[in-house]
């Protein structure tokens, strides 16, 4: 999820229609105390799917090559859309892309592209579909070189930084995400711009951007940095 994109209109922010059901704490773009008494980043809203994603996935360190690859692909599919749209379709994406198993996706051909373009359960964008297949092949090259996609990705773990307190403290991209983006592009990956890559880093635990006061931030800290 790209929180940098949330700086736009209210309609573009995660779960904006749900914020009114929360007790306000600090500001609409900082932390909120939910009906369940848990203090979370504002963007978690009250949608159960979004809450679960915030509480159990976002920011926790991930080392699975499959999950890392999946997330990079889904962040690419999100471009121009809200993350909740992708999250609601995630199981459909997994079914359509063979669970994002890298060796399998790398073998997809023209027939698979046409099949995916006809699948109403996913985002039917030819460029992003073809990019996913291309990126799977590039991921196999990284695995050959580094032993795993995870080993390559975790070289770019962000250095420690103070806990952000509100949306304006969250960058859309960083020098580290720009460096990772540049290297991925050099290796032939696509739909991996620095903003997309930073959203990926936030989600996969390479940086902890849960806001100060969010109860999940401590759980992420306890999970550690580089696994």
Per residue in 124-149, pLDDT (tens digit) is 999 999 999 999 999 999 999 999 99
Residue 59 pLDDT more than 90?
A: yes
Nearest in space to 62 (alpha carbons), one of 71, 54, 53:
71
Which entry of 58, 83, 154, 198 is annotated as an active-site residue? 83
Tell me how far apart the alpha carbons of residues 150 and 162 are, in angstroms, rounded to a whole number.
25
Q: What is the CA radius of gyration of the chain?
A: 17
Residue 53 designated active-site: yes
Residue 83 designated active-site: yes
Which pair of structure tokens corresponds to residue 28?
């609409």
**What's residue 164's pLDDT?**
94
Which entry of 50, 75, 152, 189 is annotated as an active-site residue? 75
Which H/E stretch holds residue 39?
Answer: strand 39-41
Residue 42 designated active-site: no
Which entry of 22, 50, 53, 152 is annotated as an active-site residue? 53
**What's residue 31's pLDDT?**
87
pTM beyond 0.75, yes or no = yes
């Amino acid at each position: 999820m790209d929180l940098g994109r949330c700086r736009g209109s209210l309609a573009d922010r995660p779960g904006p229609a749900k914020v009114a059901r929360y007790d306000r704490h600090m500001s609409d773009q900082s932390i909120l105390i939910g009906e369940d008494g848990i203090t979370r980043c504002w963007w978690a809203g009250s949608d159960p799917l979004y809450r679960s994603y915030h509480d159990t996935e976002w920011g926790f360190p991930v080392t699975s090559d499959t999950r890392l690859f999946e997330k990079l692909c889904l962040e690419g599919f999100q471009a121009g859309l809200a993350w909740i749209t992708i999250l609601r379709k995630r199981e459909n994406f997994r079914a359509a892309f063979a669970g994002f198993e890298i060796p399998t996706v790398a073998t997809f051909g023209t027939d698979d592209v046409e099949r995916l373009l006809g699948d109403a359960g996913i985002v039917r964008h030819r460029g992003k579909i073809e990019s996913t297949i291309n990126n799977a092949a590039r991921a196999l090259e990284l695995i050959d070189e580094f032993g795993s996609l995870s080993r390559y990705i975790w070289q770019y773990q962000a250095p420690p930084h103070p806990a952000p307190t509100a949306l304006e403290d969250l960058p859309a991209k960083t020098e580290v995400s720009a460096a990772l983006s540049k290297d991925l592009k050099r290796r032939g990956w696509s739909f991996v711009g620095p903003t997309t890559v930073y959203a990926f880093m936030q989600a996969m635990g390479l940086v902890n951007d849960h806001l100060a006061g969010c109860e999940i931030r401590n759980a992420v800290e306890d999970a550690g940095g580089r696994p």
